[in-house]
Structures are given as C-alpha cells and as structure tokens.
Structure 1
C-alpha cells in the first residue's frame, strides 16, 4: 500500500506561471476607457528589527500614469491578482503534501505580486523569494538582445501573406499609429478582455479579433514552426537556455518550487517540451502554467495554456509519451542549455 501511494505522489514539483492580467504596455491612441488598478505598495521590515513594530515601513511607488484611471502601463490588475489567488487554491488541492517551498520571480513588479497571490492558501511562513536583477535574470531574455529582435523580424518576413501586412497597414492608417504592430494591438485587446474594459471606438470588432489571432499566428511561427531549425534552436537558447540548469537544479534539490514569470518564458518552454501539434503554440494566456512533476526517476508535465482549469498532462517531446525518465528529460533540455555568457554572446552575434 505504501509503495502505491509513493508512486502517485511526486518527489518534487516545479511550477512555472505567467503573471495575471494587467494593464496594457502602451497607450492606445484616442482611448477613453478607464483602467483602474489597486495602489502599488510593499511592506518592508528590517530583519534585524523584525520584532519591533516601528521598524515596519510601507513603500508606496510613485508612478506616471499614461493611461486614464489609476493603472500605470503594465500594472497587475485586481483581476490578475484574483487569478493567482485561484492558483494558490489549485496548488493546495494538487500538491497538499509539500510544506517547504522555494520561490523565484523575475524582477518585474506584476510578476512579483502575482507570486504573492499564489502564496495565499499555502502552508508555511514565507520571508524571501529569489529575484534575479534585470541584467542576470535567467528567466527573461535581455532587453538589449539585438539578435532576439532580429529573429522576430526575419520570422515575420518569412510568413509572407500570412502576416497580413496590408491589413496591419490599414489599421495603422485608421488609428494614425504608424509604429504599432500586431503584438501591440492584440495585447491591448487581450488586456481589455481580461479586465472587462471597453474596446476603443476607433477600431472595428473584426480588426480587434484579427489582432488577437495574429499574435497567436506570429508566436506559433516564431516558437514552433520556423523552418530554419538551426536559427530556431538559437532563438530557444536566447529565450530560456540560461534557465534550463536552474530547472534541473530546483527539481533535484527543492521539493516544491514556484517560478513566477512571463508569457515569453512559458511559450518557449512549452515549445521545446511538447510537440507543436499537441497545443495551440500561440501566446499563453494570463495565469497559464507549466507544472513539472518528478516521480523519482520519472517525470510528468501538466500544462494550462488558458482558462481556469487544472491543466492536462502532455505528451513530452523528450520521449513521445506523457511520462519520461528523468534521464530522457535532462538529455532533452541539454540541447537548449547555455551559460549566461553564451547567451550574451548569442545576443550580440549577427544572424
């Protein structure tokens, strides 16, 4: 009886999540909608004086609001925080056996607050999460990585008519927003959908839907379908290669790990872990997640691309089944693994 239970219980789990819904990253021309978010603050307590109430300091961020309302661009919404409170309930349901937790977040504020929401229902007191500073964070690509953006442009050019360039130019002209692209447009509309904010009056409903469709189409081409396998491999290394060793280390040494990250983390990991025909291969939605469950010498992976469900176990590219050996998994990840220096060298190279 004990042996059966132990086989059904993971020895270690690593969960990688996308942050919750947020305000858009850019101001949409002529937007009259109100974007309202909760005030941004942190409670800080000196560890030396943790027993002294007077040592507590509430930090309130001063921000420049380009949007109408109380949100600043990119800020986590109350809806996004609620999404991660529900994730906390899900972790309690799926993995009740773990008391010890290891927490990791990127340096971005909405990602950190999303992590806070996930801890709401979990046992144990938390006093620290590991956060990589912007220049050494392995779970996001560097902002100044020229080859990353060169790759995006080359892939989009390779799409030809599928990129719908004429439609994009038509929408740019209608909005008098020449610098916008499918990514900016679709992202704005998805933020409105999640926060129940009205669409701008100067974009047609069919163009709003087209923008969302085109995000998924371009992401699919960039991460899964680009025909140049060598360049696609480089792109995967740029995005997540420096974090693969972290993943293996956490699954080896920690019983339960949460990595709070981005769609640009979830998508490439899903692209290398699963076959492209088994999932949409588009932009993972807010509060999507990948849960890696290690069972001794075997591993299974649960994936939620969108919605509020528990996710589903996926057939893994490492072995073609929904359960692989730990050795197969490690060997599969190794082909994408790079050091931080190798990633920086790739960023500065020319395609």
Structure 2
C-alpha cells in the first residue's frame, strides 16, 4: 500500500468513527442448517428434527395474541420421505441455533453499538421478508428471537413476516416467476465457457461417479452432492469412504465454479435478481429522502440468492455460501453524504468500481442498477 492509499484509508476510518451515522441496514441471509433437499445417496440415514412451529389461530389482525391453546404440526412415522421424523429441507436444531446466534450478533451491532434499533422491540422500526419455505420462515423467527430475546419484548406481539407466492418471488433463482430463466440456463450449458469447464473436470467427475456409485453422474449433480454432504458433515453423519478431505475440498471448489458459471452469467443474473436489486435501491432512496421510517430490514432466503446478489455486484468469491451466511447493506451518513458498506459474513467487501469498502451511494447505485433490466416482466417471457 502506497502512502496516498494509506492516508485515504486512515481518513476513512477517522470519518467512520468520528463523523458518521448509521441510518439504515438491510441484512440478507441464507437459512440455517437443514436436512438434505434430496436424499442423495439414499442409504437409509436417519434425520431427527426437534424444531416444530407452534401456531395459534387468530380471527383478527390485532398486534398481540393470547396463547391459551397452541397447535403443533407433527410428521407421522414412516409417512415422510426421509428416515426419521424430518422432511426434505427442514430446519434443524443446529440451524435454529445458528440463526439465533446471528440475531444476537446483530443485537450487539444494531441495538447496542449503532442504536438504530430500540432496546425494547418496536414493530415500527423493522420489517421482515422471507421466501415461502418452512426453513427460511423459521430461520427468520429464530433470528428475531436472538435479536430480541423474550425479556426485550413489551408483550406477546404478532410479528409479520412478509412473503410471496412463487410466481412473484425474486430473492432466488425462480423459473416459476421468470420462465425465460430456464431458456437462458440451457443456453449457458451450450456455451464454450461452460463446455470447456466440464471437459476440464471430467477426471474429477469420474472419481465422484465411483465414490457415489452413480452411473449417470454429470456436472449438474455437483451442487446437489455438495449440498447433501454439507448437511451430513454438519450432523456428523456417515459419508462415503472414498470422499477424502482432498476430494471434499475439490467438490466445494467445483460446486462454486458451477454456481458462478450459471448465476454469474449477466443475462441470467439480471433476470433472476434484478427486480430485487431495484427494490433494494428504491429502499435506500426512500431512507435517504426521509420517506422510509424503518431502520432495519431482514431478508431470509437461500444460498442461490446470496450468490446472485454477490454476482450482481461482482463480489462472488466462487465458494458456496455456508449455512446462515449473510450480507449486510449498511447506509451511512458521513458529513451529509451517504455511503453504502457491504459486508459478507461480517467482513467488509470492496465493490468493484468503488475503490474502498465505503462506497459513495451514487456510485453504488450506478453499479447496482446495471443488473436491472428496463422491462423485467417483458424480458422474462418466452
């Protein structure tokens, strides 16, 4: 680092600590640890889940509720697809604790350090959105439990977690909402860049084919295998004997390369995440103009969403996001000028085109909007 760069860095640190104010934060998370999406390979491994959502029926939209009677959904033995008492992709006790710990971290950052949230829960200061999956909805609930423990709540308030039908969801790769995505993905599979990659990893695919005893194994199985083994390793479940640490690390790398080739493609990326990026920019604009009263937004989603957002900003590191990974978009006011700080798993990132971790808001906006299509609805039609 030359003397000028060092001086600029020190100046920014001084600004952050002496003349800055955090005005708003948007946190985008991946759900916590969950059971496999597919039991692959199907070897009879049992999975047991203790996290069951308790529900109370309500006939009105009051802000509080009496819990005189609760209802719990229970899976019938031997009537589910996974051995044990879980279903595919269900949040586990480990996943619940991961998000509770994540909530505790942001309690320290946004309630104690920056004080953009009050010590006692106030629904008017934050907003929550989740994809319409059991594991992401529950992850948001446990996050809030860590952010605001029971002793920090004024009463039994009803917390709204906003969601969408899959035809409208824009926080992950979703061909149901954008049919053109399937067409573009097929075109990516035929591209020279993609075909050259598949040729280069052919020996590695042959190794995996033998390890998992799958004759029709190809590169499309990479991420599914990685995802399944990720869950098994998290729970110390049995893994195939041939899956050495060296091969596991290579599997992580190649699963990340697959994700980058697909989700990092500019056309697919814009179709998949562009409308969410637009919503994020509109959110910051509203906060800067004084129209938005919330100080914090939580978005509970999936690893594909994190990859898409990072790729849209050219910050994806080609490694699959771990459970409970998170992106922090923080809006700072420094001497009446606004800046965005992006953190990935609490580490500041330099968005290409910004030069420093604190990105002038207009520069960030210009970079982000490159991922937004002029007419997303029309572009998504086949």
Counting only pairs closer than 5 Å after superposition, residues 86-97 of structure 1 correspond to structure 2 as 86-96=101-111, 97=115
Match of 1:229 in 2: none
Counting only pairs closer than 5 Å after superposition, residues 253-292 of structure 1 correspond to structure 2 as 253=292, 254-275=294-315, 280-292=317-329
* Residue 344 of structure 2, aligned match among 283, 299, 303: 303
Match of 1:227 in 2: none
Q: CA contact under 8 A between 1:106 and 1:132: conserved in structure 2? A: yes
Q: Which runs of 5+ in 2 are unaligned?
A: 1-14, 119-124
SS of structure 2 residue aligned to 1:115: helix
Counting only pairs closer than 5 Å after superposition, residues 1-351 of structure 1 correspond to structure 2 as 7-48=19-60, 53=67, 56-60=69-73, 62=75, 64-96=79-111, 97=115, 98-99=117-118, 100-123=125-148, 125-144=157-176, 145=179, 146-151=182-187, 153-154=189-190, 156-162=194-200, 164-169=201-206, 171-172=208-209, 175-176=213-214, 178=216, 181-201=221-241, 203-205=242-244, 207-224=247-264, 232-251=265-284, 252=287, 253=292, 254-275=294-315, 280-296=317-333, 297-304=338-345, 311-338=346-373, 342-349=375-382
* Deviation per residue, 1:254-286 (Å, 9 max, x gap): 31111111111111211232445xxx2221111
Distance 1:127 1:5 in 2: 34
Distance 2:364 2:268 in 1: 20
Q: CA contact under 8 A between 2:75 and 2:86: conserved in structure 1? A: no
Distance 1:4 1:325 in 2: 13
Q: CA contact under 8 A between 1:274 and 1:314: conserved in structure 2? A: no
* Deviation per residue, 1:183-230 (Å, 9 max, x gap): 1111111111222222145x5325444433320222233345xxxxxx
TM-score (norm 1): 0.82
Distance 2:188 2:74 in 1: 34
Q: Which of structures 1 and 2 has the bigger CA Rg?
A: 2
1:5 Cα shift? 7.2
Distance 1:29 1:303 in 2: 32
**Compared CA separation, residues 22 and 257, structure 1 to 2 (3 A):** same
**Compared CA separation, residues 4 and 191, structure 1 to 2 (3 A):** closer
